[in-house]
Structure 1
Amino acid sequence: MNILKKRIKVLIVEDSPVAVLALKRMLATSDEIEVVGTARHGKEGLEMIPRLNPDVICTDLHMPVMDGLEFTKEIMARHPLPTLVVSVSVGESHTQNVFQLLQAGAIDVFPKPQGALIDQTGEFSAELVSKIKVLSGVIPFSKQKRQKAVAAGVFPPALHPAKAVSVSLTKDLRMIVIGASTGGPQALEVILKALPHDFPLPIVCVQHISDGFLESLVEWLAKACKVRVVIVKNNELPMPSTVYFAPDHKHVTFNSEGRFLLTDAPPVDGHRPSVTVTMASLAERYQRGAMAVLLTGMGRDGADGMLSVSRVGGTTIAQDKDSSIVFGMPEQAIRLGAAKYVLDIGAIAKVLVDFANKEKTVSLTKT
């Protein structure tokens, strides 16, 4: 007996008819997704949600009557639903507004189809379909839970009581690599904002993000953080108090001198940049002086890389399920036995802050 699989219901909130048509065509490439409605602005979208009961919402940033930011805030207050920001605000001076929607509760970002992108039906459509499928399984945090978490300095919030655990950090620690995908910008904001301006080590972040949004992400975090936040340059020597983001379409590795070496090697685990590639190079170059942190995200990128760090005696930390928006990458590392510590996002931030304060052993929380 064949049982029909329930289709993912999507509501598009977008004032451009051309963009709506393009998005509908792209989503139509999957028989698992159904566009159940379109709205011209946020107010109209809010009125349609109770009637259409969508699983995922795609919203523009700039719209008349009610823009994407206000719309997202209202969604989280009234009907918490997984929300994807689809915006042309790439390369503009106010691109950080896109990430304000993530702060308000949206889960991920995607570039609005325009120009040549409208005609694409291959990788671009596949990426959008993949994001919708991932978001359909996400349970957003309510406005009340979000406000409590932000007030406590821990976002996303843990859902269960925590218990104490001790984490020992070696004096040999020299380099930190953090990997993330879906939900990563929000998690990285929590960690990086907590760091003091004189944080004693370099940090490399490998964040899976749609083309065109990396510079915006770096600008947004740079304005919010005390440490310097930049994009990696080839042959650059990593410096303390600086957070380096892997550039689009390049793997980040370390050469024998500890300088960054960018490569065009094939994707690993479907990604370039790949978290696993950078962590494997980290393990080879820094041995016990390496720390690998794996945050929220879909898939398994980073799991094998974290295992490499664990095998050479480095410190390995995976974000826990309750504070992850998508518990994919951390879960795979945990299953491999690669993660020595499994901590909520606030505790991970505390590990780094306490290390900066020269404490050898710190008391944290763990589910």
Structure 2
Amino acid sequence: MAIRVLLVEDSLVALTILKRIFDSTPDIEIVGTARTGIEALELIPKVHPEVICTDFHMPQMNGLEFISYVMAHHPLPILVVSASVQEEDTHRIFQLLAAGAVDILPKPRVGLDLENILLRQALIDKVRILSGVKVFKKKQSANLNQSNSLKNSRTPALVSARCRPKIVAVGASTGGPLALQEFLTYLPDDFPLPIICVQHISLGFLQSLIDWLSTSCKLPVQIAEAGERPRSGHVYFPAERQHLQINLQGKFTHSLDPPLGGHRPSVTTTFISIAEFYGRKAIGVLLTGMGRDGAEGMKAIAQAGGMTLAQDEATSVVFGMPKEAIALGAAEHVLPIQAIAPTVLELVNNPSPTAGK
């Protein structure tokens, strides 16, 4: 069955090019086109799309308003394809993700071009990925209430760690920015451990992600520097297109080794190095994401005696990476995203009375 796509684009030229790209792809079918968000909203119940591709700047209703309405009334996977989501448009990009867009694809500044093979392939690949994504109605007040209720209660899954943790390692891919925000925003400014995050993200968008997370996270967020030791209460990301590892001296190292499973940085590469240095004193967290990166790394942490937590299917945008870790028996606890940070805090603040330091 072909993937049913609705195109929302006010530029007739761009709309024509997008349609030609998809028309040449046998497993994708354009079931409707709209020049405004209002037109698209009228089409959705008629053409039943599986994926929506939308521009940002449109008359009558901009992309942010359109996405917010869709996610409240007709939740569907949405890809934003726009010249207004370049890497410097940090605030706008993450506004769109927060509203419910699953992914972003910047149009070239000079406009769409049928000859742009890389853009064409990226567009097709993203639509194929989104066709398998589950999305839910956005109910902000419900999410806040759920989060607040978790803050006011003890986490039932765990009350103590087997030993005193020394580091937290987090991996994420599709849907990861919002999951990371949920996780990191919960942590207090005196959180006593370093946190290493590996997020699959398009080239050029890492600093935008860091800047956006910094607006809500109480901890400093930065790119790890080679030769530096992880510091308590700091959040670190790998440099773009580089693996991040901890060497035998406990210092960060960057690597240009080939991608692992198609990824550089790779969650598994980072997790394995953390398992080797920290052993049972590591906490591994695997969040929403497509594929299986991180699963073997999570297994390495589990086999070293560390604690491992995976995001559950119900709250994952794409239940790929966590599912693979669970299948390997590497995830000791499977939790909704809202419960992961409280559980980590419980582990950090309440180690077993017999736990080693």
Relative to the length of structure 2, the TM-score reads 0.89
Map of 2:87 onto structure 1: 91
Map of 1:34 onto structure 2: 29
- Is the alpha carbon distance of 1:260 and 1:15 closer, same or farther for their aligned partners in structure 2, counting shifts above 3 Å? farther
Structure 1 residue 164: Cα displacement: 4.0
Paired letter, 1:318: A
1:339 aligns with 2:331: yes
* 2-structure distance, mates of 1:211, 1:275: 16
1:148 aligns with 2:165: no
Residue 60 (structure 1) aligned to one of 50, 55, 61: 55
* 2-structure distance, mates of 1:335, 1:9: 31
Residue 343 (structure 2) aligned to one of 330, 338, 351: 351
- Is the alpha carbon distance of 1:177 and 1:58 closer, same or farther for their aligned partners in structure 2, counting shifts above 3 Å? same
* 2-structure distance, mates of 1:118, 1:237: 46
Paired letter, 2:351: K
* 2-structure distance, mates of 1:351, 1:304: 22
Counterparts in 2 of 1:282-361, with a 5 A limit? 282-355=274-347, 358-360=349-351
1:252 aligns with 2:248: no
Map of 1:229 onto structure 2: 221
Q: What count of residue pairs does the alignment treat as equivalent?
A: 346
Identity, in percent, stands at 49
Partner secondary structure for residue 143 of structure 1: coil
Are 1:250 and 1:262, in contact at CA under 8 Å, matched by a contact in 2? yes
Are 2:157 and 2:343, in contact at CA under 8 Å, matched by a contact in 1? no
* 1:35-56, Cα deviation, whole Å (9 max, x unpaired): 2333233222222222322111
Structure 1 residue 22: Cα displacement: 4.5
Partner secondary structure for residue 259 of structure 2: coil
Are 1:87 and 1:98, in contact at CA under 8 Å, matched by a contact in 2? no
Are 1:26 and 1:125, in contact at CA under 8 Å, matched by a contact in 2? yes
Structure 1: runs of 5 or more not aligned: 1-5, 155-162, 362-367
Residue 203 (structure 2) aligned to one of 204, 211, 219: 211
Residue 76 (structure 2) aligned to one of 71, 81, 87: 81
Structure 1 residue 113: Cα displacement: 3.7
Are 1:15 and 1:40, in contact at CA under 8 Å, matched by a contact in 2? yes
* 1-structure distance, mates of 2:167, 2:80: 33
Write out the 4+ residue segments of structure 1 that deviate beyond 6 Å after TM superposition: none
Paired letter, 2:255: T
Residue 277 (structure 1) aligned to one of 269, 272, 284: 269
* More moved, 208-217 vs 68-77: 208-217
* 2-structure distance, mates of 1:225, 1:278: 22
Paired letter, 2:70: I
* 1:224-249, Cα deviation, whole Å (9 max, x unpaired): 11111122333333222111122321
- Is the alpha carbon distance of 1:260 and 1:122 closer, same or farther for their aligned partners in structure 2, counting shifts above 3 Å? farther
Are 1:153 and 1:190, in contact at CA under 8 Å, matched by a contact in 2? no
Are 2:158 and 2:347, in contact at CA under 8 Å, matched by a contact in 1? no
Partner secondary structure for residue 215 of structure 2: helix
Paired letter, 1:186: L
Paired letter, 2:196: V
* 1:97-129, Cα deviation, whole Å (9 max, x unpaired): 221122222222222244498466545433332
Are 1:26 and 1:121, in contact at CA under 8 Å, matched by a contact in 2? no
Map of 1:365 onto structure 2: none
- Is the alpha carbon distance of 1:59 and 1:318 closer, same or farther for their aligned partners in structure 2, counting shifts above 3 Å? same
- Is the alpha carbon distance of 1:351 and 1:165 closer, same or farther for their aligned partners in structure 2, counting shifts above 3 Å? closer
1:20 aligns with 2:9: no
Structure 1 residue 347: Cα displacement: 1.4
Paired letter, 2:74: H
Are 1:85 and 1:98, in contact at CA under 8 Å, matched by a contact in 2? no
1:125 aligns with 2:120: yes
* 2-structure distance, mates of 1:171, 1:61: 49
Structure 2: runs of 5 or more not aligned: 149-154, 353-357
* 2-structure distance, mates of 1:260, 1:198: 22
* 1-structure distance, mates of 2:95, 2:177: 11
* 1-structure distance, mates of 2:92, 2:122: 22
Are 1:11 and 1:54, in contact at CA under 8 Å, matched by a contact in 2? yes
- Is the alpha carbon distance of 1:30 and 1:77 closer, same or farther for their aligned partners in structure 2, counting shifts above 3 Å? same
* 2-structure distance, mates of 1:121, 1:279: 36
Map of 2:132 onto structure 1: 137
Paired letter, 1:231: I
Structure 1 residue 20: Cα displacement: 3.3
